[in-house]
Amino acid sequence: MLESNAAWAGERTGGAQPAPPTRQVAVVTCMDARIDPLAALGLRPGEAHVIRNAGGVVTDDVLRSLAVSQHALGTREVLVLHHSRCGMEGLDEAGFLDGVERATGTRPPADVRGFADVEQDVRSAVRTLRESPYLVSTEVRGAVYDVETGAVRVVG
């Protein structure tokens, strides 16, 4: 990966970009390696903040990152982008935590935050963001990315 980076960095032109995203948008999405959120949404580097975690769930750290994104760097729109065939959908949280504890001798202190239905979790995440007292978003939307077709569908 470092060799690939050296080749990529050597081909770059254009200089430094400003830190605030030019499209004033933040995307909260899953860490799944099958998703390239910039490409899927027609965005380029420098246009959006992308906040990723397992499941793209709205955690305290996501709220912290969005507060910085909005109050320090000027974003005003948030897109929650979950995806089909997510490993967090239907996850047996207790079984997962038991497995980690068996393997490491320590039980993780945080909730894993699996969910039963991807669209319902998108709706819940959007509601949480809209109700957050820390955010000033003018627009919060939710969508699901289909990992097989690449299509994004809005969740109302």
| pTM for the full predicted model | 0.92
Q: Which residue has the tokens 């994104």?
A: 69
Alpha carbons 71 and 68: distance in angstroms, whole number: 5
| pLDDT higher than threshold 80 for residue 109 | yes
Whole-number Å distance between alpha carbons of 29 and 91: 17
pLDDT value at residue 92: 94
CB half-sphere exposure, 154, CA atoms < 13 A = 3
Question: What is the per-residue pLDDT for 18?
Answer: 80
Residue 61: enclosing H or E segment and its boundaries? helix 60-71
How much is the pLDDT for 9? 85
Report the mean per-residue pLDDT for the chain.
Answer: 94
pLDDT at 1 over 90: yes
Side-chain-side CA neighbours of residue 22 (13 Å): 7
Segment among 10-24, 38-52, 121-135 with least mean pLDDT: 10-24
Please check the confidence at residue 83 and state whether its pLDDT lies above 90.
yes
Report pLDDT for 17.
77
Domains assigned to the chain: 17-118+128-155 (3.40.1050.10)
Region of poorest pLDDT, from 7-21, 36-50, 66-80, 103-117: 7-21
Distance (Å, whole) CA 63 – CA 68: 9
Percent of the chain residues past pLDDT 70, beyond the cut: 99
Q: What is the mean pLDDT of residues 76-85?
A: 98
* Mean pLDDT in residue range 18-26: 93
Residues 102-122, mean pLDDT to the nearest whole number: 94
148-151 contacts: CB < 8 A, separation 24 or more? 148/84, 148/85, 150/40
Average pLDDT of 63-79?
97
Confidence check: pLDDT of 52 > 90: yes
